Amino acid sequence: MVPALLMRGMLIGILAGLLAFGFARVFGEPPVERAIALEGAPSHSHGGGDTADTHGAADEPELVSRDVQRGLGLLTGTVVYGAALGGILALVFAYAQGRLGAIGPRATAALLALAGFAVIYLVPQIKYPASPPVVSSPETIGPRTALYLSMVLFSLAAAVAALAGGRRAARALGLWNGAILGGALYLGAVTAAMLALPAVTEMPAEFPAALLWDFRLAAVGTQAVLWAALGLGFGLVAERRLEAARGSGLLRAA
């Protein structure tokens, strides 16, 4: 059953990645292009050795053309990301299915995808939001990546702990109160982490606010499309597979 779910998760992930690519291409690329145009350079390349001027030089040779970046490159990125998340979702689903109480496979998958979107994407983005090309300094990519990863891992750990705490509380206080307590535990923990972690303040004051809004809205939308397609699509095929297995009494085989 696990390999069957895993394969379906990854295939649905590829499909979700394609949909995310479509959304990103239509809504994400215009603000990306506008941000790059602000620099006055036709391409965004990092090839130069002079770090003070890695962005502005128009005469630098392009390693990858803008057409490839916004086409095949964007497609590859979203599809690989989708397939990987689809595989992970399938594995978590394999464990959660039948252990979350009286909800079916479709609801389990939808719930897991919603939780995944919130915990590993949306909440970390509140502290370290996506930034358009050009505005961030290449020298700080290391610490910025480390901070973002810490925020993602902390949010994930807090969610797992809050789920355990909430389930324990639900036994004593009932499901409603247990869920509220679990949610409050999670929000309290991630709020504390956001206050404790240093801020990244690299956005130039003169960067157009409307452009930043368009970019970030498109970025959130891209992930929302991906996770929604993943949760709903995977739930559908997983339920069919589980029902087929139940019908033939071969749940643990194959």
Tell me which residues in 197-226 interact with other proteins (CB under 8 A): 218-220, 222-223
Phi, psi at residue 203, to the nearest 5°?
Answer: -65, 120
Any idea what the Cα angle at residue 171 is, between residues 165 and 177, rounded to 5°? Answer: 70
d(CA 80, CA 86): 10
What number of other Cβ atoms are within 10 A of residue 134's Cβ?
A: 18
CB of 32 to other proteins, least distance (A): 6
Shortest Å, Cβ 222 to other proteins? 5
Stretch that binds other proteins, among 72-80, 111-119, 153-161, 232-240 (CB under 8 A): 72-80
**Would you say 110 or 127 has its CB closer to other proteins?**
127
Binding flag, residue 231, other proteins (CB under 8 A): no
Stretch that binds other proteins, among 95-103, 111-119, 190-198, 228-236 (CB under 8 A): 95-103
Tokens at residue 254, please?
């194959």
Task: Select the span of 80-88, 154-162, 188-196, 232-240 touching other proteins (CB under 8 A).
Answer: 80-88
Selection from 27, 205, 224, 29 nearest residue 125 by Cα: 224
Identify the residue whose tokens are 């790059």: 36
Q: Of the ranges 81-89, 109-117, 153-161, 191-199, which one interacts with other proteins (CB under 8 A)?
A: 81-89
73 binds other proteins (CB under 8 A): yes
Selection from 217, 176, 202 nearest residue 23 by Cα: 217
Q: How far is 6 from 90, CA to CA, in rounded Å?
A: 5
Of 58, 76, 160, 184, which one interacts with other proteins (CB under 8 A)? 76
